[in-house]
């Protein structure tokens, strides 16, 4: 099915949340996102995937608010996630976008449309959604505790997802690229790896904080293949998902990892 991935939502209201003028870096980033969306049409999804949501399309207005407000300057650090979660970015258009964190801390809120093929088990209600995504609540909650204000975090850092799509079974069960064999994902890697490298180059990233083992592996392989002579550091951060075994103390574990990586110096004023 054909999807219009270009933005038609950026208005005066969204400008109020950003710098007020289009920024060349954020504009280039949005063009890269659209390039990724176009390329993903050519990827043959595994048979188990019955439904796809792409919030960079149907939640474009709030996604652009995030990009224009917080991804409009060079960044030395990328926090690198896998894909949208059902009650986070799929509702708000913001990576790890748990609703209260996006609205109350990041200061982003706006209308969210519906995906082309919405399924009953995973409704998209935007900021009216009453579900909480634990991963996003933990992730942004930790950064709020460390940084105090979003500006402190985004002065040096931003959050980027490997793929813009949420995959589901027909019953709404969530699937991720990490759930499949490498052979089934080779076409996806050939699309998303070079896009990741484009984003790294655009923002002149020096440190990738890979959230979870999947992202750590993809960052390593993409840099080895497409940027063999680079000095970018890849650091590991445990994923905040409650699906991970023995992950109740993620906040403490993540703080210890960030401390060991000597990253807190970027966020303490």
pLDDT digits (tens, 9 = 90+) for 230-261: 999 999 999 999 888 788 899 999 999 999 99
DSSP one-letter code for 117: T
For residue 75, is it within any domain?
Answer: yes
- Look up the CATH number of the domain holding residue 114: 3.40.470.10
- The pLDDT value recorded for residue 243 is 82
Distance CA 85, CA 72 (A): 24
Range of the domain at 46: 18-266
pLDDT digits (tens, 9 = 90+) for 25-59: 999 999 999 999 999 999 999 999 999 999 999 99
For residue 241, is it within any domain?
Answer: yes
Q: Is 71 helix (H, G, I), strand (E, B) or coil?
A: coil
Domain count of the chain?
1
pLDDT digits (tens, 9 = 90+) for 183-207: 999 999 999 999 999 999 999 999 9
Is 34 in contact with 65 (CB distance < 8 Å)? no
Strands (E), 100-215: 157-161, 166-168, 174-175, 207-211
Enter the pTM of the model. 0.91
For residue 13, is it within any domain?
Answer: no
- The pLDDT value recorded for residue 37 is 98
């Amino acid at each position: 099915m054909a999807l219009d991935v270009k933005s038609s939502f950026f208005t005066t209201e969204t400008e109020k949340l950003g710098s007020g003028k289009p920024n060349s870096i954020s504009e280039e980033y949005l063009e890269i996102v659209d390039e990724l969306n176009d390329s993903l049409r050519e990827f043959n999804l595994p048979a188990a995937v019955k439904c796809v949501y792409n919030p960079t399309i149907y939640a474009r207005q709030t996604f652009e608010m995030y990009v224009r407000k917080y991804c409009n300057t060079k960044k030395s650090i990328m926090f690198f996630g896998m894909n949208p979660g059902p009650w986070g970015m799929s509702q708000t258009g913001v990576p790890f976008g748990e609703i209260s964190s996006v609205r109350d801390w990041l200061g982003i809120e706006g209308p969210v449309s519906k995906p082309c093929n919405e399924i009953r088990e995973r409704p998209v209600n935007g900021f009216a959604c009453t579900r909480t995504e634990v991963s996003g609540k933990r992730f942004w909650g930790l950064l709020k505790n460390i940084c105090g204000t979003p500006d402190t975090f985004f002065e040096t850092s931003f959050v980027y997802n490997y793929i813009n799509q949420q995959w589901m079974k027909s019953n709404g069960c969530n699937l991720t690229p990490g759930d499949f064999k490498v052979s089934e994902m080779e076409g996806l890697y050939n699309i998303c790896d070079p896009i990741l490298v484009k984003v790294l180059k655009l923002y002149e990233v020096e440190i990738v904080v890979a959230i979870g083992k999947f992202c750590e592996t993809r960052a390593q392989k993409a840099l080895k293949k497409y940027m063999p002579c680079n000095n970018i550091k890849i650091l590991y951060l445990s994923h905040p998902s409650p699906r991970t075994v023995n992950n109740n103390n993620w906040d403490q574990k993540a703080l210890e990892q960030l401390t060991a990586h000597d990253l807190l110096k970027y966020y303490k004023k």
